[in-house]
Amino acid sequence: MTESSTAVAVLGTGIMGAAMARNLLAAGMEVRVWNRSREKAEPLAQDGATVAGSPAEAAEGAGFVLTMLPEAGTIEEVAGGEEGALSTLPDDGLWLQMSTVGIEGQERLAALADERDVAYVDAPVLGTKEPAEQGQLIVLASGPEEVRERCEPVFDAVGSKTLWLGPAGAGSRLKLVTNNWIVGLLGVLAETISLAEATGVDPARFLEVIEGGPLGLPYAQMKGKMMIEEDFPTSFALELARKDAGLVLDAAGAQGLRLTVAEAVAARFDEAINTGHGEEDMAAVYEAAKPGRG
């Protein structure tokens, strides 16, 4: 393998993509970055990344294209368009698709890779801003077994754990199952904090009661504190959580399954987004559940 073929083109440098790019650089890899809003990519030049003017420029001669963009339609355009990354990715290059795109979206992207004869790995991640910055994401990887070893240095740079789950698509399916758990947890936590406040209970006492025991979760402590303080610095935006909840509901609906809890929490997400909290952390779902909101 030539030296140039180990380069990683990171397409999408939002909260997650920028953190992943920095960890790849810290691991000693050559990194090219591209973002639709170039100003979000430019700070990475100070860390040693090359800022590309197009996806095709970023991918030219690279060994890996890593997509970390919000939804499948955008990724299709960025990867497969006229100036798309797959037009210049070398024959032995790998496409690491690490965004959350759902089952139908993943199938479309896999079909695009097949059409372009590009090796494709479906590898969404678990984690938000802080784990991404610390290189502590969990990678849910699925794809051809023969490329597994080549992917390991990239996955090891951005994550603390990689699960290799079989053929492409298995990663996205497990991500949806996990996201359903997160959606439900957020909704119940928001309503529990609200119930405490409405009945004269200090909600901090609730968090104290569950901390360290079988009912407690570090995640509940972190998001619960944000809800109590009504301070929502963005670790993972509410509008993206709503997108992920929609993907869960789409997957369930395709199987004739109704998830009433997920439906209810998605409706709460919508309420909070409609009152201006979409760009805040997903814990801002509390704003739709707090006393006085109905």
Beta sheet of 159-164, edge-to-edge order:
125-126, 137-141, 159-164
Mind giving me the DSSP string for 7-71?
A: -EEEE--SHHHHHHHHHHHHTT--EEEE-SSHHHHGGGGGGTPEEPSSHHHHHTT-SEEEE--S-
Query: Residue type for 225, please?
Result: K
Cα angle 212, 213, 214 (rounded to 5 degrees) comes to: 135
Q: What is the 3-state secondary structure (H, E, C) of 91-158?
A: CCCEEEECCCCHHHHHHHHHHHHHHCCCEEEECCEECCHHHHHCCCEEEEEECCHHHHHHHHHHHHHH
Of 19, 9, 6, which is closest to residue 158 (Cα–Cα)?
19
Q: Is the separation of the CB atoms in 121 and 142 below 8 Å?
A: yes
Terminal alpha carbon distance of the chain: 61
Query: Which residues are catalytic, by number?
Result: 175
Question: In whole angstroms, what is the distance from residue 67 CA to residue 70 CA?
Answer: 9
- Rounded distance, CA 262 to CA 176, Å? 12
